[in-house]
Chain A
Amino acid sequence: MVEMTGAKSLIHALEKEGVDVVFGLPGGANLPIYDALVGANLRHILVRHEQSAAHMADGYARIKRKSGVCFATSGPGATNIVTGLATAHADSIPMVAVTGQVPLAMIGKDAFQETDIIGISNPCTKYAFQPRVAGEIPEVVKKAFYISESGRPGPVLIDIPKDVQQATADMHFPDLIKVRGYNPATDADMSEVGRAVELLLKAERPIIMAGGGVILSGAFAELQSLAELMMIPVVTTFKGKGAFPENHPLAMGPIGMHGHPEANKIIIEADCILAVGARFSDRSVGRFDEFGKGMNIIHMDIDPAEIGKNKSVDVAIVGDVKSSLRTLVKMLSKKIVKREADNPWLKRRKEIIQYYQESLKDYPRDVTAKKSLKKLREILPANGIVTTEVGQCQMWASLHFDVISPGTFFSSTGLGTMGFGFPASIGAKAARPQVPVVDIAGDGSFNMTENSLAVSVLEKLPVIVFLMNNYMLGMVAQWQRTFYNRRYSGVHQHQCPDYVKIAEAYGAQGIRTQSMEELEKAIKTAIKSDVATVIDIPIDPDEDVYPFVAPGTGLKDMITGA
């Protein structure tokens, strides 16, 4: 037992959790926490908007694979992080957000900068705490990290009234904690694994569909050994992009609305789907009723509630996918040495790939999104981290940027949060400063959080904004072109702002490129730069993202071009 204030106990508890970076912004209701930060053994990164603090914590968490932490004050500070919480919640990212709250006696009185953040954040957090006495704080922090990181990860909020931060108590810092009513699943049911083995051995056209769960549990090696043992082609969901090296001979890339055409094609021809850490989202599978019809579906997931939520399945293996995959591989290895590569299914796979390579036409310009992203891949080292903004840029990244080293790519895939990529890339850089970090961006999305340039420059976290700039809300424009007979509404950005000048105004580096040669040079310069670089790459505003599975249709209805 040691006596200290609630605020001090919070900082101490964070240090004990091994937190080394906190992203945040102070205000009236979290002043005691900021006071306790002085001299603390953790780095505070001051943001310019609380939404970005949450996205930075998110990017940090995705790379470190442990909870990112952000701070905000009460009222508007707290509501500003809600988008970040919802983003993390949709993608199952561990995060601990700490908000200040008005003093206990003021709660419910509509006080200045009071907001019911517990109520507001309820649907987009895994749990939320509001400690009522200072002495509760150490245990609350311990529980928050445990809940946020175990089972299916997610964001947890701790809302601390100002007087609770200021009050003094004898603090006990527990090393272990139990939460009654919370028992995240761990071990797979062996009989279900046995049934999966049978189905996989009997399947003639098996396919693996790897989701974000593979990345969250770091099951890269297990996934690869399964694929190689059984010679099963691997598609991913968009969230699972990079769960499997995209230059691997069995890789087919992401399925879905803007999935790789060969991936969308092969999965509908399969007779057995092994979905690993995936949730059959509408964005990935198109129509729930059509997807997987007549096929055997094996579903591995850590969250029992995902089984049967969108799709009824034949075999369900609930548990951490890393250990489930390991068990599955072990059981399969007893029955088979290695499936032959020379079989009709893999031949068909080759045919499909070849068909799309020959039939898809490139957009006829000197500089296109596709060429730019291929160039980026050529130059960026395999261990470089790539994230994206949201919109066309994101879907082009999905289509044309191959992830080689598993776990080096992430994006706001569930919520689709514009403005996510740039702050998240700064968070990723804080987590792994030694590798280059790139935000594949579009102008509309980068606009939303571009003031994080200040953070990147001042905190010496140089990231690269790879800005494919059509001065358009391009994805919306594409939909208006396709579904609204080119009636453009609210999509033009009118050559504003000048991104080179924006970068320079913050002390970052801005480079505008007009050719592939200039782009190549700019990427090389940016990788070596010790300040953030915005590469402004003008592209044609009429360049669309293809292929495209229109909403409400099935993967078989994929449109491959205009």
Chain B
Amino acid sequence: MSENGDWYIVSAIVENKPGVLFRITNLFRARNFNIESITVGITEQPDLSRMTITTKSDERIVEQLVKQLRKLIDVVEVRVLDTDKSVFRELALIKMKAVDPTTRSEIMNYASVFRGNIIDIGKETMTVEITGTPDKIDAFKNLVEQYGITQLARTGVSALPRGVD
């Protein structure tokens, strides 16, 4: 699959039981689908999970991905979300080097502009929690890279369609 292509967000409702995540990721591997991120968590119905999959791809491949997912017995519903008509968020924890007071205050300023939170301060590091679209997180990451990012954790995108659906 090419590096290029458009972003797609695929949302799937799946059975909340052991082995389901394995079946889905194994399908991606076996059929050569390249995915950027995948998040899973239970929904308003405890026996169902919502899985949000993001992929950079083209329409034909995404159509196949959706059809192959639908074939899985444990997958109850699959759809490609229209990015204009849905809300999507990702959470990132970014730990960076921050020793001198100037750096620390700069980071705090940046974090506040990006509506992030400082969630941990150590002798030599600060950790920022930031939530938003992947673009926003990328922007923040690029901004603070100058201080030296020591550790980074991103959750991948979670998404829901807007309004009554």
Contact = CB atoms under 8 A, between A and B. Distances in A.
Interface of A: 118-119, 122-123, 126-127, 147, 179-182, 303-305, 307-309, 312
Interface residues of B, number: 20
6 contacts: A147-B73, A181-B15, A304-B70, A305-B68, A305-B70, A309-B64
B67 A305 contact: yes
Contact of B23 (A122, A303, A308, A312): A122
B30 A123 contact: yes
Contacts, number: 37
> Do most interface residues of chain B lie in helix, strand or loop, or is the interface mixed?
helix
B19 A118 contact: yes
B123 interface: no
Q: Give the secondary structure class of A's interface.
A: loop
B64 A179 contact: no
A122 B22 contact: yes
A225 B26 CA distance: 42
Given A118-B19, A119-B22, A122-B22, A182 B67 contact: no
A181 B63 contact: no
Interface string B66-82: 01101111111100000
A122 B71 CA distance: 13
Given A126-B73, A180-B15, A181-B77, 10 more contacts: A122-B23, A123-B26, A179-B73, A181-B74, A181-B75, A182-B73, A303-B71, A304-B70, A308-B63, A309-B67
For the complex of A and B, 8 pairs with smallest distance between CB atoms? A305-B67, A181-B76, A127-B73, A182-B73, A123-B30, A122-B26, A305-B68, A305-B71
Nearest to B15: A181
Nearest to B66: A305
Contacts of A305: 64, 67-68, 70-71
B60 interface: yes
A305 B61 CA distance: 11
A122 B27 CA distance: 9
Contacts of B26: 122-123
Contacts of A119: 22
A17 B22 CA distance: 30
Nearest to B72: A181
Contacts of B14: 181
Contacts of B72: 181
Interface in B63-111: 63-64, 67-68, 70-77
